[in-house]
Amino acid sequence: MTIDRLDIRLLRLPLVRYFETSFARSYDRMFVLVTVHGEGAQGWGEAVAEHDPYYSSETTETVWHVVTEFLAPLVLGRDFAHPRDLWPAMARIRGHNMAKAVVEMAAWDLHAKQNGQPLWQTLGGTRRPIASGVSIGIQDSLEELLERVTIEREAGYQRIKIKIKPGWDIEAVERLRARFGAIPLMVDANAAYTLDEAAHLAVLDRFDLMMIEQPLDYDDVMDHARLQRQLRTAVCLDESIVSPRVAAMAIDAGACRIINIKPGRVGGHAESIRVHDICAGAGVPVWHGGMLESGIGRAHNLHLSTLPNFRLPGDVAASKRYYAEDLIDPAIDVQPDGTVLLPEHGSGIGVHIVEDRVSRATLRHLEVRPS
């Protein structure tokens, strides 16, 4: 596979409804799309970096900078036998996993299309519907939270995750258990607590949660291990798991019993497969995280979720929860049983990208060719 041109776009899409985490409330989503061209085919990737460096240190602008200045020159015009060869080719650049991932994932799509294969098959997965959960942000009131959960339960989603932070945690979970009973329920703190609050977090043990996601700092492993020893509830790591090495370290240290995989956070599909395999070997289940992706990133996530150790429902919900009009048509939708079908429009990620919608959402576009 040779990539002879790369297109990079900065887009903005308004969210159907605001999304609030422990770190910020957003009303729209800015993101970067990358297209790689080779032998008349195109591969697409979507970077998960956000406008602000609050979930991770990367932003849409650092992705733009690193892709155009450093990654494009490393991959353009070079012959790659397989998309897994892109990660080592980019190794000289430290960090910037989200920038590396968008290029690498676009190359997987291109390679699969050149071979006339669906992406799940190229990744080594098994075609099956993917179990979906939903991630429900912090609301203006607990009444509104109960209303949101009612709506998503009716849509069929297989588990509910709510965002928590100090002041929006125990009472919220208590109210959900009182109203909805023994539903599959979990919480995500996005690093809002410290180890000093272990006793407070241990109150959550009463509620039989599936897991508590990333309670402590974004770059921590050892405090999570100390916390896990004080909790009955499983800790799941998201932000902290930035590589297969850190995943192995976290499992060894007993810092978590479950891992959330987001390919953007670990550097693409090849690194995600390594994290997946390490977890499988250690008996640690994984699930696919979400970053409010458009249909392009969402399709990648669904294909990756076909690997066997994705044993828990992922944040791979229907497009319409996020965007009035997705960039792909048909949009990704949930089935009444809470599963999502793999997009199967042709090979690769299997989606039809509506160019006109992409152009309308595009704020900036650059074509990069080999120098």
Judge whether 100 counts as a catalytic residue.
no
Residue 193's binding partner out of ligand OSB, Mg ion, none, with CB under 5 to 8 Å set by partner kind: none
Is residue 266 within a helix (H) or strand (E), and if so which, with residue range?
helix 263-266
3-class DSSP state of 35: strand
From the CB of 190, what's the least distance to ligand OSB, in Å?
5
Rounded Cα distance, 309 and 148, in Å: 30
CB 177 within 8 A of CB 207: yes
Q: How far is CA 168 from CA 53, 171, 193, in A?
A: 23, 7, 12
Q: What is the dihedral of CA 302, 287, 176, 183, to 10 degrees?
A: 90
Alpha carbons within 13 angstroms on the beta-carbon side of residue 111 total 22
Residue 292's binding partner out of Mg ion, ligand OSB, none, with CB under 5 to 8 Å set by partner kind: ligand OSB
**Span interacting with ligand OSB, options 38-46, 68-76, 290-298, 346-354, rule CB under 6 A:** 290-298
From the CB of 26, what's the least distance to ligand OSB, in Å?
8
Q: Say whether residue 297 binds ligand OSB (CB under 6 A).
A: no
Judge whether 113 counts as a catalytic residue.
no
Task: Output 75 or 292, the one with its CB closest to ligand OSB.
Answer: 292
* Overall size of the chain counted in residues: 371
Backbone dihedral angles phi then psi of residue 82, each to the nearest 5 degrees:
-155, 150
From the CB of 213, what's the least distance to ligand OSB, in Å?
7
Interface with ligand OSB (CB under 6 A), residue from 284, 291, 304, 358: 291
Residue 317's binding partner out of Mg ion, ligand OSB, none, with CB under 5 to 8 Å set by partner kind: ligand OSB
Interface with ligand OSB (CB under 6 A), residue from 190, 228, 306, 319: 190
CB 120 within 8 A of CB 108: no
Token representation of residue 162: 């709510």
Q: Say whether residue 289 binds ligand OSB (CB under 6 A).
A: yes
CB 22 within 8 A of CB 190: yes
Task: Output 118 or 289, the one with its CB closest to Mg ion.
Answer: 289
Q: Say whether residue 238 binds ligand OSB (CB under 6 A).
A: yes
Q: Are strands 258-261 and 235-237 parallel, antiparallel or unpaired?
A: parallel
Rounded Cα distance, 34 and 106, in Å: 7
**Span interacting with ligand OSB, options 274-282, 285-293, 323-331, 355-363, rule CB under 6 A:** 285-293
List 100, 113, 163, 165, catalytic entry: 163
Residue number of the CB closest to ligand OSB reads 290
CB 28 within 8 A of CB 14: yes
Task: Output 55 or 323, the one with its CB closest to ligand OSB.
Answer: 55
From the CB of 20, what's the least distance to ligand OSB, in Å?
10
Q: Are strands 130-131 and 339-340 parallel, antiparallel or unpaired?
A: antiparallel
Q: Are strands 41-46 and 25-38 parallel, antiparallel or unpaired?
A: antiparallel
From the CB of 214, what's the least distance to ligand OSB, in Å?
7
List 100, 113, 165, 262, catalytic entry: 262
Q: Say whether residue 191 binds ligand OSB (CB under 6 A).
A: no
Rounded Cα distance, 255 and 247, in Å: 10
Token representation of residue 121: 């098959």
Q: Say whether residue 238 binds Mg ion (CB under 5 A).
A: yes
Task: Output 169 or 238, the one with its CB closest to Mg ion.
Answer: 238
Which residues belong to the active site?
A: 163, 262
Binding site for ligand OSB (CB under 6 A): 55, 135, 188, 190, 238, 289-292, 315, 317
